[in-house]
Every structure is written in structure tokens, then in C-alpha cells.
Chain A
């Protein structure tokens, strides 16, 4: 590690630089900068159905860029630490929280979007309504049976 880069950089330098990079990628490639899509492509690639390879390169670039900064300026979070949250939670609980948080987030965000796609949305709503009705019917039926089967003194 070299301490040649003053980390953290002044925020008035960082903000405009980030804006320039976002606009720059758009201006050169007509694509918007986003890491979520890169993770989707990563999953697709593992199944052999990747369509946008450039997103994987972008993801690789982010890892390399952060490694470069850590090498030149140091990273206080290197290793198993997780800042103040790591002090509050034991390691197994911390790992569980981080995993579950992202599972729920990614699942919801992508599924939530799908629910608004009309054909699937109709099918899904239809299925939920049918299932709900069926289960309600079963519950009522079972409730009646329980009631009738119960001893008279418990009424």
C-alpha cells in the first residue's frame, strides 16, 4: 500500500467527477451507467445467456478501480470489518443481515417490476385470487367440520 492518494478526496471534486463519468459514458456509448444491470448480466452469463457483455466489463472495472484506490490510498474497511455495524453485530448475524437484505431487495425490485408487465400481471393476479378463494373455502370447510366434531359441552 502507498499513501500517495489523499483519501477521502474533497467532495467538491468527487461530485462533478462522478457526474462527468455518468454523462461521459452516455455521450460515448449511448448507455447509462448502472451496476444493478451488471449483476443481472453476471447471473445470466453463469447460465450462458448473456446479451450485454459490456456490463460485465463495467463491473470488472469497478472492482479494479476500487482496488487501485485501496492500493494507492488505503482502505480502512479492508479485511473482515464493517464499520460501526460490525461493532454492534456479531459476525454470523452480520453476514445473515447482509445476505437477507440483498436477497429481499433484488428479489422485490425485479419481481415488483415484472408484476407490472401486463400479461404476467394478469395471470399472477388471477392465480392469487384463485388460490386465496380456494384456501378460504378450505378454511371455512375445516372450521365447520371442527365445530361439528367438537364435543357438545365445549360449545
Chain B
């Protein structure tokens, strides 16, 4: 086990603990937010984005040297049509099931049986894609970051 893996595991633990402690792994909380009946989850996400944005901008300007990954390099993408279409597909599913990949793993950790169904669905979708579209040949995007290209 490398130091990077251990640190990432700890960050995952912390993130999921905060996520679950806020109740974001519960259908009702997400559903109320999407119905605009409860603004608190949305404000929480906005404050999370704001906090991360300010810290990362400051670190980037100071050319922060990360202990495990060299100089901090924030990845940026231009907004394209695919993002809008993908967002619409995701949003539709989010409205129906009130779940995202983070919710699925925190639901499993929280003891929800149906969290396993969500995870199986995610894995099945990725596998189905891989069955239909084989790994692409070397393209700039694929070479730059294959995992990011396939996910997020």
C-alpha cells in the first residue's frame, strides 16, 4: 500500500463521513432539495464549492508544490454541448432516484441494501459501455488523462 493510497483512503473516509453526517445519502433530503422545498442542501453545496474555489485559487497563484504530486495543476474544461447533454441525463436520473455515485457508496456504508443496487447499476453501465466501445487509440484526451476521460 502506497502513501498516496493511504492518504486518498483517509480523504475518502472524511468526505463520506461529512457527506453522510449531512444526510446527503438519504433520498428524502435530495428530493426535497430538487423540489425546492429545502434550500439548505443547495446552500451547503454552494458553500463547499465556494470554499474549495477560494483555497485552490490561492494555492494556484502561489504555485503550490503538493507533497505527493508536484506543482498544483488545476484541470479546466470549456463548457461544451456534451456537458449540457450529459448533465440533462444525469439530472433526470437524479430527480428519479435522488442518488449520485457518492450517494451510492455512502448508502452502502450506511447499511442501505438498495445502495448495493445503485452500485451494481453503475458498474453495469460502465461494463456495458466498455462492451460496446472498446478502448480508444491514442488521442490527446485519452493520453492526457484516461481515467478522467472515461468518468467524471
Interface residues of A (CB under 8 A from B): 5, 7-9, 11-12, 14-43, 51-70, 73, 75-86, 94-95, 97-120
16 A-B pairs in the complex with CB atoms less than 8 angstroms apart: A8-B21, A19-B53, A26-B66, A28-B11, A57-B1, A57-B5, A60-B9, A63-B109, A65-B16, A66-B106, A69-B17, A69-B110, A75-B111, A102-B104, A102-B125, A106-B122
Q: Which of A42, A83, A95 contacts B98 (CB 8 A)?
A: A83
Cβ proximity bits B1-42 to A, threshold 8 Å, 1 near / 0 not: 110111111111111111111110111110100000000110
**With the chains together, A100 CA to B124 CA distance in Å?**
9
Q: Which of B13, B111, B123 contacts A65 (CB 8 A)?
A: B13
Given the interface pairs A79-B112, A98-B97, the reply to whether A40 lies near B150 with Cβ below 8 Å is yes
**Contacts of B55-100 to chain A: CB distance below 8 A:** 55-56, 59, 64, 66-75, 80, 82, 85-86, 89-90, 93, 96-100
Most buried by A among B29, B51, B53, B139: B51
Q: How far is the CB of B116 from chain A (nearest CB, A)?
A: 10
Q: Which of B18, B128, B133 contacts A103 (CB 8 A)?
A: B128
> In the bound complex, do residue A15 and residue B12 qualify as a contact, i.e. CB atoms below 8 Å apart?
no
Most buried by B among A68, A86, A98: A98
> In the bound complex, do residue B51 and residue A103 qualify as a contact, i.e. CB atoms below 8 Å apart?
no
> In the bound complex, do residue B121 and residue A102 qualify as a contact, i.e. CB atoms below 8 Å apart?
yes
Given the interface pairs A14-B18, A40-B151, the reply to whether A98 lies near B118 with Cβ below 8 Å is yes
Q: Which of A18, A39, A115 contacts B101 (CB 8 A)?
A: A39
Q: For A9, list chain B residues within 8 Å (CB).
A: 18, 21-22
> In the bound complex, do residue A62 and residue B121 qualify as a contact, i.e. CB atoms below 8 Å apart?
no
| Apart from A77-B26, A106-B121, 6 more pairs, CB < 8 Å | A31-B8, A41-B147, A75-B112, A84-B27, A103-B124, A118-B139
> In the bound complex, do residue A36 and residue B101 qualify as a contact, i.e. CB atoms below 8 Å apart?
yes
Q: Which of B14, B21, B99 contacts A5 (CB 8 A)?
A: B21
Given the interface pairs A32-B75, A117-B141, the reply to whether A94 lies near B114 with Cβ below 8 Å is yes
